[in-house]
Amino acid sequence: MLSPRREDELAIRDLAFRYARIVDRRVYDEIPQVFMPDCELTGVGFRMKGHAELDAGLRKIEMYSATQHCVHNQATRLDGDRASGEFYCVAYHIHERDGVPYKLDMGIRYEDRYVRTAEGWRIAQRTLVLIWQQDLPLDLSVAALSRPAPARAAKARSAGAGRARAAGGGSRSGGSAKRAKARGANARGAKARKSPAGAKAGKKKAAGGTRKRARQVRRPTGPAGSRPA
């Protein structure tokens, strides 16, 4: 079970999410669910007071084809039915310049004051502090279109595996042919040795080997140090 303090903190945090929804989804009729009737919203070059001015002022964001406000850090200080706090936000604004799509990014800090009402917490005052911004060309190409679909990718992998098996089979069949050729050569050699001419050549070779070994035995040897290294 959450403590009353934690419930208040979560309710105040929800106001930041609701504000992002109002701006990004352009649901201006939800302004009373977030701001007090006499609320004040100020920033660089603008000041809006009350629901009517807030409604008219927030609609100016429609100059962008799309926006996305991403809420981040929260710091809240509670004091009974009043509170103060700040939120960090990165806001993305899509627009065009000379027919080229651009994305305006803003690093924002909202400094707020809140009031508890019978309907829940509301924003009484909000100051928009712009920390940084950048406006860059936007690449709208969809990289996923250049990647194969899962079915095509699986088929490609299967085909690649089939080619690898075929190549492996060719190597094995080539090895078998070489082994068969070697066995044939051995068989022909054995047959040649069994013939009279082969036997005579074998005896001559054996005799030559015996005389060579005899010469090696008769070769004089000197002291160990005189042997060639």
Position 144 scores a pLDDT of 44
Count of CB atoms within 10 A of residue 71's CB? Answer: 18
Instruction: Grade residue 16 by pLDDT with cuts at 50, 70 and 90.
Output: very high
Instruction: Grade residue 108 by pLDDT with cuts at 50, 70 and 90.
Output: very high
Position 220 scores a pLDDT of 38
Count of CB atoms within 10 A of residue 133's CB? Answer: 12
Mean pLDDT calculated for residue range 101-115: 98
d(CA 84, CA 71): 17
Domains of the chain with bracketed CATH: 4-140 (3.10.450.50)
d(CA 132, CA 137): 17
End-to-end Cα distance, the chain? 92
Strands 46-49 and 35-43: antiparallel
d(CA 106, CA 103): 10
Q: pTM of the full predicted structure?
A: 0.62
Find the helix or strand (DSSP H, E) in which 56 lies: helix 50-58
pLDDT in tens, 161-194: 666 666 665 555 555 656 666 666 666 655 555 5
pLDDT in tens, 52-94: 999 999 999 999 999 999 999 999 999 999 999 999 999 999 9
Six-digit token string for 137: 């060309």
